[in-house]
Amino acid sequence: MKSDKKPTPRGKTWYAASAKWTRWLHTYLSMISFASLLFFAVTGLTLNHPTWFGASEPTIRDAQGSFPTDILADEIDKLAIAEQLRAEHHLKGKVSEFEVSDFDVMVIFKSPGYAADVFIDRESGKYQLTETASGVVAIMNDLHKGRDSGSEWSLVIDISAVMMVFVSMTGLILLLFLKRTRTPGLVVTVIGTILIVAAWAIWVP
């Protein structure tokens, strides 16, 4: 007995499979990158309008101390000095700068929204510490820019950017499979692109 079901043309099978996989990819890329998309969208606003979101003035703390002069003579153990400062004053972040001259030593600790500057007099061993700590909004803004956040966070930014590209492209490709909304969707896409370029050309000095 012969089946009345007609075989599906290969072209239609490929078309349906492509649409299915594009929809699947777009959906799960959107979900896996949801947190990063939301974070960089929100911090885009906080960067542009920091006062709208309760950005406060940084808290500044000054402190003093001293080192034995013998450890500041000749070859200086940079790690030992940095770790002693960190333990003594509960400093955060990584050492971004450590400069030694004939007369003094400068040590700078930095992390998003945070900085601690230490100046040590090599002759007397005395030092002056200035610690600057900002609020949550400033920390988020620095994370958005990758400022003082380390190479690992820089990789997170790169991955998030790639994910955003793929979400955008799969969304555009998915639109091409929707016959009813394909043309108006592409028209709106072109209009949106023209508006962005026009804003840059007209308003950016």
Q: Which two tokens stand for residue 182?
A: 């394909």
Output the CA torsion sign for 186, 192, 194, 196: negative
How many angstroms separate the CA atoms of 66 and 125, rounded?
5
How many angstroms separate the CA atoms of 103 and 105, rounded?
7
Q: Is the pLDDT of residue 42 over 60?
A: yes
Query: How much is the CA Rg of the chain, to the nearest whole Å?
Result: 28
How high does pLDDT run on average in the chain?
91
Q: Which residues contact 119 (CB under 8 A, 6 or more apart)?
A: 104, 105, 106, 127, 128
Q: What local confidence, expressed as pLDDT, does residue 10 receive?
A: 59
CB–CB of 183/190 below 8 Å?
no
How many angstroms separate the CA atoms of 141 and 24, rounded?
33
Q: Which residues contact 112 (CB under 8 A, 6 or more apart)?
A: 138, 139, 140, 142, 143, 147, 148, 149
Percent of the chain at pLDDT exceeding 90? 78
Structural domains in the chain, sorted by start = 10-53+138-203 (no CATH), 59-134 (3.30.160)
CB–CB of 100/172 below 8 Å?
no
The angle at the Cα of 104, spanning 102 to 106, to the nearest 5 degrees, equals 125
Q: Is the pLDDT of residue 2 over 70?
A: no
Provide the whole-model pTM: 0.82
Q: Is the pLDDT of residue 75 over 60?
A: yes
